[in-house]
Each structure stands twice: as structure tokens, then as C-alpha cells.
Amino acid sequence: MLLFLLACSPGDSKNNPPSEELPAQLLGQILLAGGGSEGEIGEEEAWSAPLYRGLLRNGDINGDGRIQVAVLSVEEESSFIPDYFVWLGADGAENHMLPSREAAEGVDFAAVDAVFIKGGDQGIYYDTWNNTALEAELRRIHGAGGGVGGTSAGAMSMAGYTFAGGEDLISMDVLTDARTSYLDDRDGGSGIHDDFFGFLPGWVVDTHFTSRARLGRLAGILARVVEDDAPPELLGIGIEERTGVIFEGNRLEVWGEGSVSILGVQPDPRREAGLPLVWTELPLDRLVEGWRWEEGEVIPREEAEAVSNLQAPVPLEGEWAVSGSRALGAENFAWVAQEPDGQLREGNAQLRLTPAIAMMDAQNDDLRGVKEELLLRGLIERPGASGWLLPWESGLEQDPENPERLVNTGEAAVLVVDTRGLSWRDVGPRPAPVGQGSLYPAAFAGAQLHLLHGSTGWDTRQALPAPQ
């Protein structure tokens, strides 16, 4: 997968074609944090210390001899984040509460060298700040080399395509209805906006990613953007809590306790009203601290392992059916990922789908983030296998016309992570934000994501999505 940074100035959209003469780079740093609590002041080993310090890399950009940080929100905030940036090296940092368009029009950031946007609701940020003097000031600072970024909703606001409709979209909404109204703006129209800050052209940003099991949600957002004529190089980045990235030019580096997922697209997602999203062969990389992208290439840390000689599929023989609502269905897969650390045990059924790992009832409860991490951690132990996240409402069975093909007859799409194309695998150096401290996040390069439902099934002879 290639890192895609459109050769355009921040804010350009598909309705405003960029000039080919402009440099394909970002001038200042872009910081994206996935949410969660920062470390304490003075805690150098905390996940947030090196990440947040990265916002200050270019120092004093306006030549006044000071490094000044503006911390933005729409509500009154404590002094912790400004004090945190001062500890990290800023000469000064202040909260700026901007709860109205009038307040956003009145900003003066002539002395500001870096900007950090707090978490909250990116829909409110869009409605309050879009097309105001604040937006112009942030672009000026970034264009002069200053760092701009944020956490949670603040990070999502950096995207070229910002999901900011004000609706609370979850993965199950997309896995049961590809055209769910939760993708819309509560004020009408699309909830995905290409006319906000736009510091990351060609990207969708999502946060709290694994903790809230948002892999399906990100796919649903990307599918709508693709249908709305987005560039074919569109990418989504999903950032876990207490984890973040810094974009600097064509370089992305990861810091923190969790993982960062980068999801590519394919043409023609199947989006039918009232039916689950169907989309296959989406490129998927998952990075942890120490991994980076540089000039579009995934570069793992030294501890990562190159992968080769991946497993070949074994076709099914005999009658086979699984319901996502039944834990015993996991026994019909070659392996089951177990708590607390994703270790695998063999399935106990006489007939098993090989090589595959199961996670049942995967999207429906408060443990969905742990279940997703457990499954992906298990895949690191069995590169070449496929990992199946089956929602309660899903159901797999053999096609009566072709017993070597599985179809999903349930009401929800199944998420399949296919690792036959892996080139690297790794486990993060810190315990993941999900789990009880014994689960370390999985990292890999070269996987694919499939969302399967109905006639788009799984051919067990080739371990590939079967043609419709």
C-alpha cells in the first residue's frame, strides 16, 4: 500500500482540483492521538511524552524567541494540557475556548507556533469552526512549519474526509445496513465532509479504534467516500487509545501502547439499503510503536519478523454450519483465540475450517475491543491463516450448490482478516490499552480485510472470497 498525500494545499477537495505544481508534502507536523488519558507531567516513559513533544519539533516558527502552543476546545478545560506542553518544552501554552462561530472568527494566533485540539465532538467542531478565521489561522501556522494536531475528535478533524455528522456510528450499523442513516449528517446530507481543515488530503481518520472495535465502521465510512467519487488512493487510518502518529512529510511514525491500522480501498463496494456492506480485498496494515511509513513503504522495527512459507488452505468435507451467536461455533474453526493473551487452542469439532481462527459474538458487547485484539494477536501466531469476527447476527453455512463454498445467511456481515500475504509480523513493546495488561497488540504488514455477506462467500479450496 502506498502512502497517499495529495499535491494540494490544505482544504482542497474533489470540487477544487489541486495545482500539480504544488509540493506533495506537509509543511508542519500533523499529530493524531487516538484518545485516552495522557501520562503525568514528568513521566518521560508515558506513551504521550514523545508523541506530544513531536508537535514542537519545529520550535519557534514566527521568530519571536518563544514556542507558544494554543490548546483549542469548545468547553472550559483544566490547565493540564497547557501545563503538559510547557513541561515538554514549550515556553507558554494557553487554553482557547471557542464555543461559537463568533469566537472562532475573533482569534489572533500571530504568536502561536503549534496548535492542539482537545477531544470532544468533531461534528460540533465542524459546525462551529468550519470556514472561519480559526480555520485560516491553523492553515497559516501549518504552512509556516508549525505543528497542528489533536486527540480523539481533534485528530479526526485533521482528515481530508472528516466524519463529522454528529451521529454515533458503530461497526454493527454498517455490518447490518451499508446505507445506515448514521453515516448522514443530522442536519441533512452526508456526514463525511471534505471542506474542513483538510491537513491530510486523501485520508479518513478514526480514533478509539480497537477499544471500540471500529474496523467495520472505518470500512463503512470509506465505502461511502468511494461511492462519492473519492480518489482511488483513498486511505483510512484507525488509531487506538493511548496511541498516536506524527506525519512529517511522507513519513509517519507510531508512538504509544496500542496499534495503528491503515486500511486501503477497492472500487465498487456493494452498498444496498437495508443490507450489510460487502467489500473484499481491502489492503490492511497494522503498526505499533517503533514502526513507521516512509515514502509509502511500511518499515517495521528491528524486532519484527519477516514472514514466508504461509499455510495452504484445506477444503471442507462434510456438512458445516456456524452461528455467530453460539460460542460453540468457534470449535468448527481450526483454532480459537483465548484470553488473556490471544494464545490459540485447537477447535474440537470433527469438521473444522482450516486454516482459520474464530471469534464469536464479536461486535455486540462491551468486550468487542478485547475480542478483536485477541483474534488479531492469534493471527500473529499463525501467519497465513484467516481470522473470522462473527457478529451475533451472522451465520455461516455451506452453499448447497457448492459444498466447498461458505455463504453468510445471517443479518450481519462477517469481518475476515486474511494474512496469506503477510510480509512482516510483530507484537507491540507495551501492553495494549484493552485487556488486563497481559495482551500485547499485534502488528503486521500485507494483510487483507473482507466483509462477507450473502452470495459473496468464502471458497475453502482457495481461501478466497468466492465470486458472486
Write down the residue that cell numbers 481533534 correspond to. 154
The mean per-residue pLDDT over the stretch 77-89 comes to 97
Lowest-pLDDT range of 183-192, 314-323, 415-424? 314-323
Lowest-pLDDT range of 62-66, 264-268, 292-296? 292-296
Which residues, 6+ apart, have CB-to-CB distance to 44 below 8 Å?
A: none
Quote the pLDDT of residue 467.
60
The mean per-residue pLDDT over the stretch 65-83 comes to 97
3-state secondary structure of 432: coil
Quote the pLDDT of residue 251.
87
- Whether the link from the prior residue into 355 is cis, omega within 30° of 0, is yes
Quote the pLDDT of residue 400.
86
Checking DSSP bridges between strand 464-465 and strand 68-73, what pairing results, if any?
unpaired
Q: Is the pLDDT of residue 283 over 60?
A: yes
> Quick one: pLDDT band at residue 135, thresholds 50, 70, 90?
very high
Same fold, 30-299 and 305-465: yes
The mean per-residue pLDDT over the stretch 133-146 comes to 96
Q: Is the pLDDT of residue 444 over 60?
A: yes
- 372-424 pLDDT, tens per residue? 999 999 999 999 999 999 999 999 999 888 888 899 999 999 999 999 999 99
The mean per-residue pLDDT over the stretch 82-98 comes to 98
Quote the pLDDT of residue 194.
95
Round to whole Å and give the CA distance between 257 and 432.
5
Quote the pLDDT of residue 159.
97
Round to whole Å and give the CA distance between 222 and 183.
11
3-state secondary structure of 44: coil
Of 269, 287, 297, 283, nearest in space to 210 by CA: 287
Quote the pLDDT of residue 109.
97
Round to whole Å and give the CA distance between 16 and 31.
25
Quote the pLDDT of residue 11.
36
| Integer angstrom CA distances of residue 336 from 153, 191, 362 | 35, 37, 13
Of 416, 411, 408, nearest in space to 313 by CA: 416
Looking at CATH, the fold of the domain delimited by 30-299 is given as Rossmann fold (3.40.50)
Burial class (CB in 10 A: 0-12, 13-18, 19+), 251: middle
Q: Are 354 and 334 in contact (CB under 8 A)?
A: yes
Q: Where are the alpha helices (DSSP H) in 145-300?
A: 153-156, 171-176, 215-227
Write down the residue that cell numbers 509517519 correspond to. 252
Percent of the chain with pLDDT over 70: 94
Burial class (CB in 10 A: 0-12, 13-18, 19+), 410: buried
Checking DSSP bridges between strand 243-247 and strand 251-256, what pairing results, if any?
antiparallel
Quote the pLDDT of residue 295.
75
Quote the pLDDT of residue 9.
34
The mean per-residue pLDDT over the stretch 264-270 comes to 95
Q: Are 354 and 287 in contact (CB under 8 A)?
A: no
The domain limits of the chain are 30-299, 305-465
Q: Is the pLDDT of residue 431 over 90?
A: yes
Quote the pLDDT of residue 313.
73
Q: Is the pLDDT of residue 15 over 70?
A: no
- Written out in words, the top-level CATH class of the domain with range 305-465 is alpha beta
Write down the residue that cell numbers 470532544 correspond to. 120
The mean per-residue pLDDT over the stretch 360-369 comes to 90
3-state secondary structure of 182: helix
Which residues, 6+ apart, have CB-to-CB distance to 245 below 8 Å?
A: 31, 32, 237, 239, 252, 253, 254, 255, 260
Q: Is the dihedral of CA 443, 448, 450, 455 positive or negative?
A: negative
> Quick one: pLDDT band at residue 462, thresholds 50, 70, 90?
confident
Round to whole Å and give the CA distance between 357 and 367.
18
Which residues, 6+ apart, have CB-to-CB distance to 244 below 8 Å?
A: 31, 32, 33, 34, 47, 48, 51, 151, 155, 254, 255, 256
**What phi-psi label fits residue 308: left (phi over 0), alpha (psi between -120 and 50 degrees) or beta?**
beta
What the block records as the C-alpha cell of 345 is: 487452542
> Quick one: pLDDT band at residue 468, thresholds 50, 70, 90?
low
Quote the pLDDT of residue 8.
34
Write down the residue that cell numbers 460453540 correspond to. 328
Q: Are 335 and 378 in contact (CB under 8 A)?
A: yes
Quote the pLDDT of residue 91.
98
Q: Is the pLDDT of residue 338 over 70?
A: yes
pTM: 0.92
What the block records as the C-alpha cell of 242 is: 493511548
When the pLDDT of each residue in the chain is averaged and rounded to a whole number, the result is: 91
Q: Is the pLDDT of residue 76 over 50?
A: yes
Round to whole Å and give the CA distance between 193 and 185.
9
Q: Are 263 and 247 in contact (CB under 8 A)?
A: no
Round to whole Å and give the CA distance between 138 and 102.
16
Round to whole Å and give the CA distance between 123 and 128.
9
Percent of the chain with pLDDT over 90: 77
> Quick one: pLDDT band at residue 294, thresholds 50, 70, 90?
confident
Q: Is the pLDDT of residue 117 over 50?
A: yes
| b (16+ CB within 10 A) / e for 145-174 | bbbbbbbbbbbbbbbbbbbbbbbebbbbbb
Which residues, 6+ apart, have CB-to-CB distance to 406 below 8 Å?
A: 316, 320, 353, 396, 397, 398, 399, 457, 458, 460, 466
